[in-house]
Chain A
Amino acid sequence: MALIKKKKKAETPPLSTASLPDIVFMLLFFFMVTTTMREVTLLVKVKKPQATEIQKLERKDLTTYIYIGAPKSAELGTEPRIQLADQLASVGDVQQWVILQRESINEAERTKFTVSIKADVDAKMGLISDIKQELRKAQSLKLSYSANPAASAEELYKAY
């Protein structure tokens, strides 16, 4: 016992911090690789709906986003608008724009081209349906209604 007590009293050696930069660099590289900067500045307010049957969109480079929601700047009113890339657009622009986006990707993978609609919960189906018609005209038939995962289906009933 006496021997052990003596040992406990001995000072602990200082922790070596020499490997700290290495650890930090490792984390740094991880975040540098995984980071994706937000590529568009949102001009419309988008609060995505919740759903349970959602699937991941695997290839970001094969996906094009259409944002729908009320404009952020007050002078443009509160009526939901469409945002394509960095500017507000009208329904008539969608077809041309989607075709251009599809042509910019590799020909072999064009069949996997997907349009993701990121629409606000308060948007009306009239506008969404108009866009759906434009997408059909543009022969771009793969569509994803972007949604946030909900914990359970019961949660969705509550809000209804």
Chain B
Amino acid sequence: MGSRKRGVPEINAGSMADIAFLLLIFFLVTTTMDVDKGLLVKLPPWSEEAQEPPQDIKEKNIFVVLVNAQDQLLVEDEYASLEDVRRMAKEFIDNNGDGTCQDCRGLRDPASSDNPTKAVISLQNDRGTSYNMFIKVRNELLGAYSELRNDLATRKYGRDYESLSESEQEEVNAVYPQFISEAEPVEVGG
């Protein structure tokens, strides 16, 4: 009884920091802060029968990008390199052939797209196309749209597209809606 009444000896807290450091280093090593990033796309809904190309889209409103099994590019029936895709896509989207798009600054070439709301980009690839190349081309096409949107945002609001409010972004998107179709792969060979 008497021994219990004696005060308990204080625990030495000097090693507390060491223990905490040990745990800290463990979490430092195991932690992975990778947030998954990627190219966001939306797939068309599934339909049983083979997709017939819609009849009401004019040939000049479709921008065809073809990638073959050797990762070579054919843009609008012409050989092209990856550097050209973005510029050509931008010219096509921004063309504004019928003049209904007030915010566009295109060349108004009658042989190219009518206006951005009608312009469709069709990306076709072979089964043998490498994923790397596909992503690069996809990236260029997305880049064409984001550059156009960014240009419009700077002209209209004097700010980057990213810094616009949600409603302003929607307005910009309404001028340049994104129509990129990833066709089912065909054996284009090559």
Contacts and interface: CB of A to CB of B under 8 A. Distances in A.
A144 B135 CA distance: 11
Contacts of B140: 153
Interface stretch (B31-39, B92-100, B152-160, B168-176): B31-39
Interface stretch (A5-13, A50-58, A99-107): A50-58
A149 B34 CA distance: 12
A139 B139 contact: no
A40 to B, nearest CB: 12
Contact of B20 (A17, A21, A50): A21
A142 B40 CA distance: 7
Interface residues of B, number: 51
Nearest to B134: A125
Interface in B122-161: 125-136, 138-140, 142-143, 146
Contacts, number: 164
Given A24-B17, A34-B31, A128-B134, A53 B39 contact: yes
A11 to B, nearest CB: 24
B71 to A, nearest CB: 8
B132 A141 contact: no
Q: Is the interface of A mostly helix, strand, loop or mixed?
A: mixed
Contacts of B136: 49, 51, 156, 160
Contact of B139 (A53, A63, A120, A125): A53
B106 to A, nearest CB: 21
A20 interface: yes
Interface string B14-46: 001100110110011011110111111111111
> Which of B45, B182, B185 has the most CB atoms of chain A within a 10 A radius of its CB?
B185
Interface in A16-66: 17, 20-21, 24-25, 27-28, 31-32, 34-38, 49-57, 60, 63, 65
13 contacts: A28-B20, A35-B31, A51-B139, A55-B40, A57-B35, A63-B36, A116-B36, A135-B43, A143-B43, A144-B36, A146-B37, A147-B38, A157-B83
Smallest CB-CB A-B distances: 3 pairs? A126-B127, A31-B27, A144-B38
Given A49-B135, A57-B37, A119-B131, 19 more contacts: A24-B20, A24-B21, A25-B20, A28-B23, A28-B24, A31-B24, A36-B31, A51-B136, A53-B142, A53-B143, A124-B127, A125-B127, A133-B46, A136-B43, A136-B44, A136-B46, A137-B46, A147-B39, A160-B82
